[in-house]
Amino acid sequence: MKLRNIFIFGLVVILILVFAGIGLAIDKVKVIMVTDTAGLGDKSFNDSVWAGIEKAKKDLGIEAKVIESREMADYVPNLTGAIKDGANIVIGVGYLMIDALAEVAPKYPDTKFIFIDAAVDSPNVAGCIFNEQEIGFLSGAFMGMMTKTGTVGWVGGMFIPPVERFEVGVRAGLLTVNALCNTDVEIKIGYVGSFEDVPKAKSMTLTQMGQGADIVFAGGGTNTLGIFEAAKEKGEGFYAIGVDQDQDYIQPGSILTSAMKRVDVAVYKLIEDYIKEEFKGGIHSMGLEGDFLSLSPMNYTKHLVPYHVFGVLEALREAVVKGKIKLPTSQDELKEFKAPVSLVF
């Protein structure tokens, strides 16, 4: 009799422990990130995504892990491995991972996937597409108001859709400022043809600056380093605009501001959606609304910017967010873009 009591008591204890264990396991959402071959520490997408996950870990109490890929052949096994490790959400980074993701995701409909900068045709994959034209627009308007020479520059990496959206945004921003302030700011356009050709980006920037451009937008990749170099070499009165992340710190004073794609904010939001059971697959457009795109806080250059410029930028931001200005997303749409003639919408 006594032995039986002990046995039942033991059984109850074990059951409680088991349920508590399951309870804990269910409580924590497990997020696993699979990096591309650049890995953590790339000061780019991988680090931004990880920053978003870290924030979610702190604020939302998720469990987070990272799997770094050494080579392209690792993508499929790493994505599959993340699923086998019980991930609720798998976050893939790097545009060359898209084929691997398209192969793996449909096989595991219960796992959710987040992918940056591209979409995959599977209901469990949320693809974050940034409306680069919106932040390009603000940057362009900013450049138009800040230029002293009446000429600005654009040095892009490769002419691919996200970069094109950036470029037409910048041009739309310039057109808007020209219409509003009755100025005639010109823009020099150049493409390096690659994202990693620092010397060519530098010489292209120096050429544009020689032709009178005093502010040059750095359109992506490690090219930006060459563009910043050029702005520094030209010295006072010449500036670059950083891109993707807050790059102002790279060469304090030479970089007027950075057009930031807040990948970390986007990742955080999608994780939050999952926890609220509002996760949706398909394309997620990330724009100025919700601060997925924003200009950097200008920690080193704020004193150079007249106060009214911030006012105009804020008004333009509002107008874009509220849909009062329809921004072009391609060269063809740019031709039909009608710049607003007043800030009162």
Partner 1 sequence: MESKEKKWTIILNPLLALIFGLTVGAIFLIFTKKNPFQVYLLILQGSLGSKYFISETLIKATPLILAGLGLAVGFRGGLFNIGAEGQLLVGAFIAALVGFKASHLPPLFHILLALGAACLGGALWAALAGWLKAKRGVHEVISTIMLNYIAIYITNYLVRGPFKSGYLPKTPLILSSAKLPLLLPNTRLSIGIVLALTLAYLMYRLLEQTVFGYELKAVGFNSQAAEYAGINQIRMIILTMGLSGALAGLAGGVEILGLHHRFYGQFSPGYGFDSIAVALLGKNNPLGVVFAALLFAAMRTGAMYMQRIMQVSTDIVLILQAAIIFFIAIEFSFKFWMTQRRKV
Q: Which residues bind partner 1 (CB under 8 A)?
A: 37, 65-68, 70-74, 76-78, 81-82, 85, 95-96, 98-99, 158, 160-161, 194
The residue type of 293 is: L
Give min distance, CB of 135 to partner 1, in A.
20
Complex with partner 1: residue 65 or 280, whichever CB lies closer: 65
CB of 264 to partner 1, least distance (A): 20
Contact 44, 244 (CB under 8 A): yes
Residue nearer to partner 1 on the CB measure, 78 or 257: 78
CB of 290 to partner 1, least distance (A): 26
CB 198 within 8 A of CB 222: yes
Q: How far apart are CA 311 and CA 309, in angstroms?
A: 5
Nearer to partner 1, 133 or 208 (CB): 133
The length of the chain in residues reads 345
Q: Where are the alpha helices (DSSP H) in 70-118?
A: 75-84, 98-104
Q: What is the closest distance, in whole angstroms, from the C-beta atom of residue 159 to partner 1 in the complex?
A: 8
Q: Encoding tokens for residue 221?
A: 């990749």
Report the distance separating Cα 50 and Cα 96, nearest Å: 18
Dump the DSSP string for 127-162: EEEE-HHHHHHHHHHHHHHH-SSSEEEEEES---HH
State the minimum distance, in angstroms, from the CB of residue 168 to partner 1: 16
Query: Of 71 and 277, which CB lies nearer to partner 1 in the complex structure?
Result: 71
Answer whether 103's CB lies under 8 Å from 122's CB. Answer: no
- Nearest-approach distance from CB 156 to partner 1, in angstroms: 13
- How buried is 52 (Cβ within 10 angstroms: 0-12 exposed, 13-18 middle, 19+ buried)? buried
86 or 306: CB nearest partner 1: 86
Considering the complex, state which of residue 144 and residue 220 has its C-beta at the smaller distance from partner 1: 220
Nearest approach, Cβ of 64 to partner 1 (angstroms)?
Answer: 10
Tokens 């398209």 -> residue = 102
Helices 45-60 and 263-275: crossing angle in degrees, nearest 10, is 40
Q: Decide whether 91 or 185 has the Cβ nearer to partner 1.
A: 91
CA–CA dist 324, 141 (Å, integer): 16
In whole angstroms, the minimum distance from the beta carbon of 71 to partner 1 comes to 3
DSSP letter for 214, please.
-
Nearer residue to partner 1 within complex by CB, 163 or 312: 163
